Amino acid sequence: MNDLTDNPISATVDFERDGVQHGFLKLPYSRDDSAWGAVMIPITVIKRGAGPTALLTGGNHGDEYEGPVALSKLAQQLSADEVSGRVIIVPFMNTPAFQAGRRTSPIDKGNLNRSFPGKPDGTVTEKIADYFRRTLLPLADIVLDIHSGGRTLDFLPFAACHVLPDKHQQAQCEAGMRAFNAPYSMRMLELDAGAMYDTAAEQQGKVFVTTELGGGGSSSARSVAIAERGVHNLLVHAGIVEGDIALRPTVMLDMPDGDCFMASEHDGLLEMCRDLGEEVSKGEVIARVHDIKRTGAAPVEYRARRSGLLAARHFPGLVQCGDTLAVVAETVG
Amino acid sequence: MNDLTDNPISATVDFERDGVQHGFLKLPYSRDDSAWGAVMIPITVIKRGAGPTALLTGGNHGDEYEGPVALSKLAQQLSADEVSGRVIIVPFMNTPAFQAGRRTSPIDKGNLNRSFPGKPDGTVTEKIADYFRRTLLPLADIVLDIHSGGRTLDFLPFAACHVLPDKHQQAQCEAGMRAFNAPYSMRMLELDAGAMYDTAAEQQGKVFVTTELGGGGSSSARSVAIAERGVHNLLVHAGIVEGDIALRPTVMLDMPDGDCFMASEHDGLLEMCRDLGEEVSKGEVIARVHDIKRTGAAPVEYRARRSGLLAARHFPGLVQCGDTLAVVAETVG
Amino acid sequence: MNDLTDNPISATVDFERDGVQHGFLKLPYSRDDSAWGAVMIPITVIKRGAGPTALLTGGNHGDEYEGPVALSKLAQQLSADEVSGRVIIVPFMNTPAFQAGRRTSPIDKGNLNRSFPGKPDGTVTEKIADYFRRTLLPLADIVLDIHSGGRTLDFLPFAACHVLPDKHQQAQCEAGMRAFNAPYSMRMLELDAGAMYDTAAEQQGKVFVTTELGGGGSSSARSVAIAERGVHNLLVHAGIVEGDIALRPTVMLDMPDGDCFMASEHDGLLEMCRDLGEEVSKGEVIARVHDIKRTGAAPVEYRARRSGLLAARHFPGLVQCGDTLAVVAETVG
Amino acid sequence: MNDLTDNPISATVDFERDGVQHGFLKLPYSRDDSAWGAVMIPITVIKRGAGPTALLTGGNHGDEYEGPVALSKLAQQLSADEVSGRVIIVPFMNTPAFQAGRRTSPIDKGNLNRSFPGKPDGTVTEKIADYFRRTLLPLADIVLDIHSGGRTLDFLPFAACHVLPDKHQQAQCEAGMRAFNAPYSMRMLELDAGAMYDTAAEQQGKVFVTTELGGGGSSSARSVAIAERGVHNLLVHAGIVEGDIALRPTVMLDMPDGDCFMASEHDGLLEMCRDLGEEVSKGEVIARVHDIKRTGAAPVEYRARRSGLLAARHFPGLVQCGDTLAVVAETVG
Amino acid sequence: MNDLTDNPISATVDFERDGVQHGFLKLPYSRDDSAWGAVMIPITVIKRGAGPTALLTGGNHGDEYEGPVALSKLAQQLSADEVSGRVIIVPFMNTPAFQAGRRTSPIDKGNLNRSFPGKPDGTVTEKIADYFRRTLLPLADIVLDIHSGGRTLDFLPFAACHVLPDKHQQAQCEAGMRAFNAPYSMRMLELDAGAMYDTAAEQQGKVFVTTELGGGGSSSARSVAIAERGVHNLLVHAGIVEGDIALRPTVMLDMPDGDCFMASEHDGLLEMCRDLGEEVSKGEVIARVHDIKRTGAAPVEYRARRSGLLAARHFPGLVQCGDTLAVVAETVG
Amino acid sequence: MNDLTDNPISATVDFERDGVQHGFLKLPYSRDDSAWGAVMIPITVIKRGAGPTALLTGGNHGDEYEGPVALSKLAQQLSADEVSGRVIIVPFMNTPAFQAGRRTSPIDKGNLNRSFPGKPDGTVTEKIADYFRRTLLPLADIVLDIHSGGRTLDFLPFAACHVLPDKHQQAQCEAGMRAFNAPYSMRMLELDAGAMYDTAAEQQGKVFVTTELGGGGSSSARSVAIAERGVHNLLVHAGIVEGDIALRPTVMLDMPDGDCFMASEHDGLLEMCRDLGEEVSKGEVIARVHDIKRTGAAPVEYRARRSGLLAARHFPGLVQCGDTLAVVAETVG
């Protein structure tokens, strides 16, 4: 049984020591260009006395940037004096993917958020997953994983929590999401969540908040500000950092069924007819796919299957058969 | 002398025939996966009677999408009846680059806009340049080349013309730029323009208009609308299509010297402190570069060397030493 | 247990609906160039009333073309009126491999015909295998999988059935093979068949027919005609399509032991001394391997280890140590 | 002027020495994996006394195999006693391409037959071209370059000569072609021959014969036999080897104009409706291109633009927009 | 259970036959460039009568050369007359890695020495591991696996044995190590040995000796001489070959704890301040890492955490964060 | 004429300013992953008052490390106070090659030392060459370019000067070489020097010294010490830095003719029979090449064509046909 095998990752920081420590999670990785090499995952631990632990992560997908920027700044700026309890910061969770600017790991093509529960003797990505599940998550009370759309998707900025079987836990997660206070908020029912980090955290009873804050493989001053404010709010909410949370209005979104998702059945040049945040009506053309091999051919039209707000879109200018073109969300109460 | 050598490209359309023709510029290209293959560049010619010729191009860089979308739609929708003269449309000018979604050609790494005057017996990209210079440009009176920032830059949407030695020609180009009527407009002094398509067109005395309409390797409903409206306006302005031009306000921009450009001297994670279109003041931090190998290190700060408007930025979340981080433009009159 | 996990593939066609439907098997596939993308496997279902179901596949290996051509034509031409029962057509079974023109999948190097029984949570290729085993095969009564030699082998055109433990089932398969009526026919004893599609079908008690119809990564008018005629015959034989089968002579082949196979123990330039379909005698030189690094060296000679017909050969002009050079089959009865 | 620069290639054989020598043309090539390395082109020189010189080459394109096999065998078997004069054999002319099994050089993508006149200080392929033009061709009286279709084309087996301005030279070339005595023969008017080896040889007044003997990236016992018999015949014809030439019937072909060539304007799955050597009539469908992204779509039909014999075809099962699908030749006299 | 599945590798040699046999372990491997291909692992068996069996291997990692050279020579030179018992020689154990000059297999990135116990239906590397474990190791009494540092490490030349639970077995292994008689010798406690060949051999009760004889992806006359002398000594020691062992002095080394290992936490240009075999004192700077992106920055200094001998070092001039920089060993007794 | 075109490289340092400046040579380079990017070549200028200028370079080939280490340290340590005149330091001359750890540039495969005189509008490597020739070399009086063998060669450590037509210049260069005072020294007659940096420097009348100080893609404490001592000595010799030069014995070497070089005509596993610095006798076997595809084959033996000292060798364990195996030098007076 894998859970009896030790994970080969060792930390150069001491999770029980007070103060600020910057170090690495060191994962031995023997390969052609380094027989005795290692994957080095940067980590910061900031601790003072007793109190709850927050585990803050970015770079779960390596091409999403609000988390890495906001958490790099937090790691550099937060002093132990400001903390009651512990903040564990891993800004570049899937470090090999992040350093390559790719969603997945260039080492093993691993999508970290589809690699849980992980394996201590598996691929590099599976070892990282196992270490988070068996070593870091048990240390935490509240867990925030900052996502964005990455290079190929773009999202309205929202924080999210999941519909969970334990309604008390769900309420706590929802309180965390509301404390994060992004411009949009979403309560999600994940259908195929078995291999996600979210599930690994929730199954251990943690308060878990996730986000989608933009995309396109970039970040902006505006989207980073949302992340920084949300992280600060959440630490205050958790009682780790002192301060007030001045809540701003947030739009509650819902994606009730599969009709929210629109996929392309053609390769080609994408023309979006609506932009993120715009209202769309059922039956309206919201995207066209043009032929890139010839001129004069009629484009394929894709029509909304429900009314709502354009909440996400395919980002790159070219699209492949099977790609999700757009997501239409419903605004709730 | 290369100009005595025939260009190997042949057109499947007849530039002198009235009506709408969709076809190809066929460039023979023998290679490992096709001994007798060809690069096929889609082209549309729409002609009715006598009158001026407009040459409209997109995809000069293959990862810029407003031109390809707007011109694909025009090629599919414009009828010969609406035209007095001729419209030549090449929506994917560097077709191999465009079909690969890359700035440059995957065949020869050729940056088409740095390949003029081209060579009939050179690389695939040089052959395309030579064909435009010696065959297509001589057919045209007015030339529009639609650019955006591509995958690695993002721009405020502007149309542009160049400062030219022939002031009469410059005035005509400026009139074209104003007719295009993008939200921003710019009169540019190119310093190193020798190998650009712009220069090849201007040296033949053509009225030449170019644009930057967005970037990031994507397009939006809003940016495509700017392109479509600009193309229509320009055809009306040229007297090829009938109609009125309802001019909207445009902001005139200028980039007077090298202090407008800010380059990174470090690799790392980019944090933009200002967004496109925002005012920046000289000395203000407008970007930071964070270490991606460790936490806790102070980021490198980049400060504006002049006041103005943030007109362009590096788009991807990671930055390399030498990359242009941002461009600050001056608003004029 | 994997069989309790749902396969993530969904079909855009309804297998129970009468009429002709063209659609996709959609396999979600998150990756660097499409976070929310999918592999889209084209499928056609043609159904009218009650009656048996035939499952017809090509492109199990992606560089074999008789199946894809013949089945693409059938999918486009066969009307529901002509059918009693159901015909399920998947012309490009391992779609990623087929679209890349490769034997195996460019996504995961998966050889589909060595990936059974498959895994619903495995690689893309393993998910396809699992879907065929658990969803499509149970729908079928008769199964035809059209193979050829692919880019690196060339075969005499034959249909085949396997020696099976259930002699009644074997007789039905053999009747199907005879109905297909290729120029050559072969009853095969597979030694290492555990991971083959053939075995997955046969273990469910299906009537299963396979073929090898040529090779070299191409097809010809002649080899496609064999496939089309064979498919038609088989549908008539199954009672799904009306018509007569005019049987032509077929040569029965056998490959009784390992002496039929001749492998190279050298890298080099291949010289075949006999062509497909020619008689060879035991001890005769049937291939030579020449040195490609120097001239003047004596080639290595490979001699037939048994007499028979040259039934298959290595196709490319260069050969590697370990490659099968030739197969000599025995003619039977 | 490049012709004043020495070519860096040195030969390990002495062209003036009697006897059989196997050696190399050594081309220094400094690169990442060998700072002081070289490209080594195998060569055999067989010489006895005075008499004419034949220069025999294969592997001009690296994926064509009849020449390499026939000439490797000749180099190994021909003794100096059998020769009056000199035979220079280079079976793998573009050695890097040949050893990689590719049409062009993996070092510089060079298509040797489009690299003449070459450059002594150019790419590896250009250096080889220059060496043949300035060193080997001047040694020769009669030149044979054995081609086939390579991996992506397939041809009826023919020998060929060119229409030349010097009619005496043309007659000698035609006599050489007839002596080679392939099943088909063709007198060709090359339109774009400037960079070909053929032209370099003919401009020096040499008797030049070329061939196309098959293709698909393979060879057969039958096609190699044509090459071996042709080489022998030509050496007898040149007076270098003693013997008789028993001429067999040959079909004279002609490709009078561009209507002989049929190119695809679509990507897809190729269905040939006629095979090599079959008669086709003007207007007849000779190929179809099927959609590989979906089923149920009508294929694109390609019809013969003239009547004649199917003399060449695209070989691989998939086809790209721009590929030559088929060549229809006219039979003459 | 995998151990019930047959390994697909077959040997072309007969392990029970007297005499010298050179052949292959043939591992069927179907792939894009050879549908019916195989990995061919060279093997030599030299046997005469009854007596112990030695299994000698090199190339477990493909970029280590003392083993392949010494064992290639032995295979070519040792006659059956000189042997009492059996010598099985596999000089290139991970043949695909060795032929590519890489530590791991280019087929599946497999590190053979981390792939035990292997799987008969796994990757190519896992199949090789399974074959050694279940077929070759059971034939052996004494096992020698010759390692070096490979392309990225350099070692003082030593033979080694492991601390084992069975002290009798350990004593036999230590006797073997002493018989090998390298300039340095080491008794090692492996901490993470589960997937090593060493462990597979030791678990079967075999006398197992391993080595590190140099590195850098090269070998020298001196290092090969150490290997050849060691192999000869070991065969004499095992009673398979007759002769005397003239023992030379050897330095006993020990690596008692993790302070022996020094890893880089920075990317950069490596400056070693001590060379292999030199004494180092605790606290002394033994390496520096310089910035490769700019001049003028202070290098990072790495200081010895214990005193001893520099026993191993990172070899390439550039170093990555996580790489082992140096190993300091203690001299014993 | 290219010399009329401005080189696009700009320096961020002022060559005329006193003091220590660390900066970059900035070469604009537009590419897929950075539309407005640049190659940034680190440079240090250390100047005080009038006096001669030394131009010191490493990393001309990117896998040679003594120069980069010694010059990085000098740039960081040398103060302006210690200097009379000017020291220009470019430790990583071909920066893209150096940062990739490769001999040649990953951008254009350019071997910088074969790219002179360069082109201002050529490839990246040609632009660097042009900038050194037209901008940096004219600033210098004495020029030192530190080489080693790189990843694929290993050398005895020597400084060198060339035989020059101007005997006064040659004497000055030889004095520089002697001042550098490496363990070995060599006066070289370059045969094919046209495209070398050496030649560009010498043609401008500069005092030019070069070296080979080791190899294998690594450096050692010992080899770096030779470089550091040599650089210091040369600066003293030039009168730029004060101090004494304590000359140590040096062995003068000569490579009088082509018999010094031994090249492989086979692919295989290299066995060196002599190590660097050892005496070899004419006719002695100094290397063997073993078959890597099978055991039992006799290796190919390479024998010395002259007596002398083994001065250089092929480094990697595998060798390709055409590689230089070894260089035997003569010791002089």
DSSP state of E247: P
Q: Is the pLDDT of residue B236 over 60?
A: yes
Q: Given CB atoms, is C295 within the 8 Å cutoff of chain D?
A: yes
F100 to chain B, any CB pair closer than 8 A? The answer is: no
Strands (E), E134-284: 142-147, 153-155, 158-162, 184-188, 207-212, 251-254, 261-263, 268-272, 279-280
**pTM, rounded to two decimals:** 0.96
Say whether residue B291 is in contact with chain A using an 8 A CB cutoff: yes
Question: Does the distance separating the beta carbons of B265 and E294 come in below 8 Å?
Answer: yes
E114 touches chain A (CB under 8 A): yes
* pLDDT given at position E190: 73
Residues of C in contact with F321 (CB under 8 A): 293
Question: Phi and psi at residue B122, in whole multiples of 5°?
Answer: -100, -150
Q: Which residues of F touch B102 (CB under 8 A)?
A: 32
CB contacts < 8 A, D to F, total 53
Mean pLDDT of F282-302: 98
Shortest Cα distance, chain B CAs vs residue F34, angstroms: 6
Chain A partners (3+ C-beta pairs within 8 A): B, C, D, E
Q: Stretch F279-292: mean pLDDT, rounded?
A: 98
Q: What is the pLDDT of residue E2?
A: 57
Residue F128 is which amino acid? I
Residue of B265, B266, B270, B315 for testing the chain F interface, max F β-carbons within 10 Å:
B265
**A123 close contact with C: CB closer than 8 A:** no
- Kindly list the partner chains of chain D, i.e. chains with 3 or more CB atom pairs below 8 Å: A, B, C, F
**Alpha-carbon distance C42 to C23, whole Å?**
6
Q: Is C193 exposed, middle or buried (0-12, 13-18, 19+ CB in 10 A)?
A: middle
Residues D17-44, mean pLDDT to the nearest whole number: 97
Q: Give the pLDDT confidence score for residue D191 in this predicted structure.
A: 67
A61 contact residues in C (CB cutoff 8 A) = 35
- Tell me the average pLDDT across F237-266: 94
Domain ranges, ordered by start, for chain A: 2-252, 255-331
- CB-nearest to A104 from C31, C36, C40 is C31
pLDDT of residue E1: 44
E219 chain-F contacts, CB cut-off 8 A: 270-272, 317
Confidence tier at F193 by pLDDT (50, 70, 90): confident
Chain F stretch 312-331, residues whose beta carbon is closer than 8 A to a beta carbon of chain C: 321
Please report residues of A whose CB lies closer than 8 A to that of E192. 8
pLDDT number for residue C190: 73
* Average pLDDT of the segment spanning A214-223: 98
Confirm if B9 and B27 have CB atoms less than 8 A apart.
yes
Alpha helices in chain F (DSSP H): 66-77, 95-100, 124-131, 167-180, 197-203, 221-237
Chain C: closest CA distance from residue A102 (Å): 6
Q: Could you tell me if B111 lies within 8 Å of chain F, comparing CB atoms?
A: yes
- Yes or no, beta carbons of C290 and D24 under 8 Å apart: no
pLDDT, mean of residues D108-115: 96
Q: What is the CATH number of domain D255-332?
A: 2.40.50.100
**Taking 60 as the threshold, does the pLDDT of residue B1 lie above it?**
no
**pLDDT of the residue at A194:** 80
Whether D103 and B40 lie within 8 Å, measured CB to CB: no
pLDDT digits (tens, 9 = 90+) for F2-17: 567 899 999 999 999 9
- Whether the pLDDT of residue C2 is over 60: the answer is no
Fold assignment, B255-331: OB fold (Dihydrolipoamide Acetyltransferase, E2P) (2.40.50)
Nearest residue in chain F measured CA to CA from E46: F296
CATH for B2-252 (3.40.50.300, 2.60.40.790, 3.40.50.2300, 3.40.630.10): 3.40.630.10
Q: Do A76 and B217 touch (CB under 8 A)?
A: no
Query: Does any CB of chain E come closer than 8 Å to the CB of residue C150?
Result: yes
What does the DSSP assignment read for F86-148?
EEEEES-TTHHHHHHT-SS-TTT---GGGSTT--TTS-HHHHHHHHIIIIIGGG-SEEEEEE-
Q: How far is F104 from chain D (nearest CA, A)?
A: 6
Q: Which two tokens stand for residue A170?
A: 């769900």
| Per-residue model confidence (pLDDT) at position A191 | 67
* Contact E295/B at CB under 8 A: no
The pLDDT assigned to A189 comes to: 77
Alpha carbon distance B117, D274 (integer Å): 44
> Is residue C3 scored above 80 in pLDDT?
no
- Touching subunits of E (3+ CB pairs, under 8 Å) are A, B, C, F
Residue D59 three-state SS:
coil
Sign of CA dihedral F9, F12, F18, F20: negative
- Distance from the C217 Cα atom to the nearest Cα atom in chain D, whole angstroms: 6
Beta strands D85-90; D53-57: pairing state = parallel
CB-CB neighbors (< 8 A) of B101 in chain A: 316-318
Distance (Å, rounded) from C-alpha E22 to C-alpha E43? 6
The lowest-confidence range among B65-79, B178-192, F166-180 is B178-192
Contacts of residue C303, Cβ cutoff 8 Å, sequence gap at least 6:
C283, C284, C285, C286
Q: Supply the Cα-derived Rg of chain D in whole angstroms.
A: 21
Average pLDDT for B136-150: 98
Closest approach of chain B CAs to the CA of D275, in angstroms? 18
Alpha helices in A78-142 (DSSP H): 95-100, 124-131
Local confidence band at C191 (pLDDT 50, 70, 90 cut-offs): low
Give contacts of E222 with chain F, Cβ < 8 Å. Answer: 275
Quick check: A153 and A314 in contact, CB under 8 A? yes
What's the pLDDT at D2?
57
Q: List CB contacts (< 8 A) between B109 and chain F.
A: 31
Interface test with C, best of E6, E7, E34, E41 (most C CBs within 10 A): E34
pLDDT (tens digit, 9 = 90+) per residue, B267-305?
A: 999 999 999 999 999 999 999 999 999 999 999 999 999
Nearest to D96, CA basis, from D56, D134, D126: D126
The reply to whether residue B322 touches residue F33, judged by beta carbons under 8 angstroms, is no
CA–CA min distance E153, chain A (Å): 7
Q: Spell out, as residue ranges, where chain E has pLDDT lower than 70.
A: 1-3, 191
Q: What is the pLDDT of residue E237?
A: 98
Write down the pLDDT at residue C1. 44
- Pick the closest to residue E111 from E99, E124, E125 (CA basis): E125
E41: part of which helix (H) or strand (E)?
Answer: strand E34-48
- In this prediction, residue D89 has a pLDDT band, given cuts at 50, 70 and 90, of very high
Nearest CB partner across the interface for C30, out of A102, A114, A265: A114
- Closest approach of B244 to chain F, Cα-based (Å): 37
- Residue A292: phi and psi, rounded to 5, are -105, 5
Question: How many helices (DSSP H) and strands (DSSP E) are in chain F?
Answer: 6, 19
Q: Let me know: does F67 contact F155? Beta carbons within 8 Å.
A: no
Tell me, what's the ipTM? 0.96
CB contact under 8 A, C36 and A323: yes
Single out the residue of D75, D77, D86 nearest to residue D18, CA to CA.
Answer: D86
Rounded distance between C-alpha atoms, residue D163 and residue D171, angstroms: 9
Whether C104 sits inside 8 A of E8 (CB atoms) is: no
Domain E2-253 in CATH: superfamily?
Zn peptidases (3.40.630.10)
Angle at B52 between CA B47 and CA B57, to 5 degrees: 75
So what's the pLDDT on residue B191?
Answer: 67
Q: 3-class DSSP state for residue E248?
A: coil
pLDDT(B36) > 60? yes
Subunits close to F (at least 3 CB pairs below 8 A):
B, C, D, E
Give mean pLDDT, residues B126-151: 98
Residue window 17-56, chain C: list those with CB within 8 Å of chain D.
20, 22, 24, 40, 42-44
* Residues forming beta bridges with residue F184, ordered by sequence position: F158, F251
Stated length of chain E: 333
Please report which helix (H) or strand (E) contains residue D71, including its range. Answer: helix D66-77
Give the pLDDT confidence score for residue B4 in this predicted structure: 74
Residue C185 near residue C280 (C-beta atoms within 8 A): no
- The H helix count followed by the E strand count for chain E is 6, 19
Average pLDDT over residues B121-133: 97
F321 CB neighbours in chain D (<8 A) are 40
- pLDDT of D235 reads 98
In this prediction, residue C89 has a pLDDT band, given cuts at 50, 70 and 90, of: very high
Residue D182's pLDDT band (boundaries 50, 70, 90)?
A: very high
| pLDDT recorded at residue B246 | 87
